[in-house]
Amino acid sequence: MGKRKIAVLPGDGIGKEVARGAVEILKAVGEQFHHEFQFSYGLIGGEAIDVEGSPLPQDTVSLCQNVDAVLLGAVGGPKWDENPPQLRPEKGLLQIRKSLNLFANIRPVSSHSSLSDSSPLKKEIIENVDFVIVRELTGGLYFGKPSGRSVENGEEFVVDTLYYKREEMRRILTTAFELAMSRNKKVTSVDKANVLESSKMWREVAVELSKEYKEVTLEHMLVDNAAMQLIRNPRQFDVIVTENMFGDILSDEASMIVGSLGMLPSASLSTSGPNLYEPIHGSAPDIAGKEIANPIAMILSASMMLKHSFNMVEEAEAIEKAVDSVLAAGYRTADVQQFGKRTVSTTEMVELVKAALAEDNAITNIMSAYA
C-alpha cells in the first residue's frame, strides 16, 4: 500500500496541542502497522490572519486539495473577536468546509462506561448510549445570503438566511439513511416544521427518501423537543439528521452524555476529494497553552480518518481500544477529572494512549507466537 498524504491544520488555541497529539498517535500506528503517513502543515484561522492576512490562505486550500485526508484542530480566539466578518478565524473553517464540499458532518456519540461519573447526567440515563448526529455542514443558516447589517429608513437591521436547495437536503438525508442501514435502522430527522418553511421541505424530502429505505424507521422530531429528549432518554436515538446550526447546538449538548466536549470526534465527508477530521470542540482559548486540554476528541478524529478515508479498520479500532483502556485504567485530563482518578496533562494522555497501543501489539504478538 502506498504512502498516505495527510494535511494537518492545527489552527489556534488548544487546536495546536491536540493536533500534535493526534499526529504522534498516527505516527505510532504507522510504525506498528507498517503504513507510511506523510504529514504536511497548513495555516488556518487566527494564525493565518496574522501571518497571511486571510483566515484561509489559498496555499492551505491547494494543500488540502492535494492530500488524501485533512486533520484539523480548532480555530478562534479573543484576539480576533472584534475583526470584521471576513477576517474572523471561524470564516476560515467555514470556507474550508465549503471549498472541499464537506456537506456531511458525522458526529458519533457513545458513552464510555469508565467515564459515567464524569457526566452530569444519571448513570442509568447515559448507559449504553450509541447514536450518530449527521449534521449538514455546507448550507443552511451558516451560509445563506443575504447575511449582514444594514440601515433602512434610518433604522438599523440585521439579517441571516436559511437557504437550501432541495438536492442539498436530499444528499444529507441520503447519508443518514445509508448510515442507518449499517446500524440500527432508525433515522430521527430533526427540524422546526411547525414554524420554518425550510423544515417543511426537509420533512417532505425525508418522507420521499424513506420510500427507498423501507427497512429504516423514519421519525420526525422538532428541534426543541430533540434538545429535551437527548437529556431525557438518549438511548432512543440511532441516527439523528439535521440542519447545520441545529446540529451544531445539539452536538455540544450531546457531549454531556459522554462527559466532556473534549471527547467527541467528527468526520466531515464529501463525495469527491479528501475528507476532513476534526474534534467537535473549539479552540478553548481560556485553557490554551496550559497542557490541560483533552486530546481524546482529536485522537478519535484521527481514528475516524483511518477508518473512513483509508479503510484501516483494525488500526482505527486499535486506537479506540487504547483510549478505552487508558480511561479504564483511571487516567483523566482535567475536563473529566474525578475523585480517586489520576489527573494527567495533554502530553501525558497522548503518551499513555501510545503506550496502550504498543502494549496491545505486544499482546497480539505473544498470542500469534502461540497460534
CA 267 – CA 106 distance, rounded (Å): 5
Q: Exposure pattern of 219-254 as b/e (b: 16+ CB <10 Å)?
A: ebbbbeebbebbeeebeebbbbbbbbbbbbebbebb
Per annotation, catalytic residue among 191, 192, 213, 354: 192
Report the partner that residue 126 touches, choosing among Mn ion, ligand IPM, none (CB closer than 5 to 8 A by kind).
none
Task: Report the 10 Å Cβ neighbour count for 343.
Answer: 14
Closest distance of CB 90 from ligand IPM, Å: 4
Closest distance of CB 318 from ligand IPM, Å: 26
Is position 277 annotated as part of the catalytic site? no
CA 283 – CA 287 distance, rounded (Å): 9
Does residue 323 contact residue 296 with C-beta atoms inside 8 Å?
Answer: yes
Report the partner that residue 90 touches, choosing among ligand IPM, Mn ion, none (CB closer than 5 to 8 A by kind).
ligand IPM
Is position 130 annotated as part of the catalytic site? no
Is position 59 annotated as part of the catalytic site? no
Report the partner that residue 288 touches, choosing among Mn ion, ligand IPM, none (CB closer than 5 to 8 A by kind).
none
Question: CB-based burial of residue 294 (10 Å sphere; 0-12 exposed, 13-18 middle, 19+ buried)?
Answer: buried
Q: By CB under 5 A, what part of segment 221-280 binds Mn ion?
A: 248
Question: Residue of minimal CB distance from ligand IPM?
Answer: 90
CB nearer ligand IPM, residue 274 or residue 282: 282
Q: Does 12 bind Mn ion (CB under 5 A)?
A: no
Is position 142 annotated as part of the catalytic site? yes
Is position 192 annotated as part of the catalytic site? yes
Closest distance of CB 210 from ligand IPM, Å: 27
Q: Which residues bind ligand IPM (CB under 6 A)?
A: 76, 90, 93, 248, 280, 282
CB nearer ligand IPM, residue 24 or residue 248: 248
- Only one residue has cell 485530563, namely 333
CA 319 – CA 239 distance, rounded (Å): 23
> CA 93, 311, 105: angle at the middle one, nearest 5?
30
Report the partner that residue 136 touches, choosing among ligand IPM, Mn ion, none (CB closer than 5 to 8 A by kind).
none
CA 56 – CA 44 distance, rounded (Å): 5
| Catalytic annotation, residues | 142, 192, 224, 248, 252
